[in-house]
Amino acid sequence: MKVDGTPYRSLWWDADAQAVKIIDQRWLPHDFRIEQLNSLADYARAIKDMHVRGAPLIGATAAYGMALAMRLDPSDAALQDCWDFLHQTRPTAINLRWALDRCRARLVALPLERRGPEALALAHEIAEEDVEINRRIGVNGLQLIQQIAANKGDGSPVRLLTHCNAGWLATVDWGTATSPMYHAHDAGVALHVWVDETRPRNQGALTAWELGSHGISHQYITDNAGGHLMQHGLVDMVITGTDRTTRQGDVCNKIGTYLKALAANDNNIPFYVALPSPTIDWTVRDGVAEIPIEDRPAEEISHIQGSSATGDIASLQVTPVGTEVANPAFDVTPNHLVTGLITERGVCAASEAGLASLFPDLAPSAAAQV
């Protein structure tokens, strides 16, 4: 996507520096900063402290971290140490483990002298795959938006509501939930997007920044406004991303997603989830019972970051001094509240049978499920 007319991805390989560069998202939407990752500690810090965020982008970042580790020390011990070190940074988004497992499985069978170059090639492969997966999600989601537009029949905008940022900033490019929006806009479909602020980190501001850069009509709303808008017929479709989806179609996403699904269900509004296949955790069936929910630092709730009238970026405390804070970062939406899953292979029901119909090559065999 473009920033001030210049095309960017959320991370990229700089051949001259022989290093990965990222957009440091902690400063957006107020300041656009680029950071170079030079050490394994830089990679871990970028993931844990949310310089990068979004399940697909975390996975791609981890793959490049593995490539750096193998360039420095291709031994079996270093391979496992890198896996352990990066895996502990974020417990909920499954793409992190998926990418690390994929790298380890490919590299462990290679002689030591090949591990460095192969690890870098694999990281490039994972990043390019992510771009194509999200492009295809956009194509498949476009058809749903076009159908809603056709059913409206009056040329009025299709009104979408989204929660958190599942845009190109949360992936290598295109985004998951935003990819259908970009494709629809580019195809000439009139859109208006309600953008949840998504406390505590106000990640909706990143979505608003993205949509504004792409020329898509949108309004930024409080997290609690969505139900009201649905009750008054102002939402045609809800679409979110996901950080981990179980094999029966339960969806783990940013805290507050479950409440949006409940409101959509109560108002007969379709609730879709944009799901890249690496985000499916085939080892988990019951998301509420089995997915570990990350507890984030209290400061994310007790303080809020913004830009002052003079343009300075500052953090301000909004809670009384000494107030205890709980900060679960994700919740789980049960599959019966999900209208459908938009994947790179098509749209399916949020169920084990639905996912298996699109991904028979990835789904566990019936015998393995017993």
Q: Give me the residues paired with residue 313 across strands.
A: 307
DSSP characters for 188-231? Answer: T--EEEEEE--TTTTTHHHHHHHHHHHT--EEEE-GGGHHHHHH
E strands, the chain, in order: 2-3, 6-7, 11-14, 19-23, 34-37, 158-162, 191-196, 218-221, 237-240, 244-246, 251-254, 271-274, 280-281, 303-307, 313-317, 330-333, 340-343, 346-348
Q: Dihedral sign, CA of 136, 140, 143, 145?
A: negative
Which residues are tagged catalytic?
A: 243
Q: Which residue has the tokens 């379709």?
A: 270
Q: Of 57, 43, 294, give the one whose Cα is nearest residue 170.
A: 57
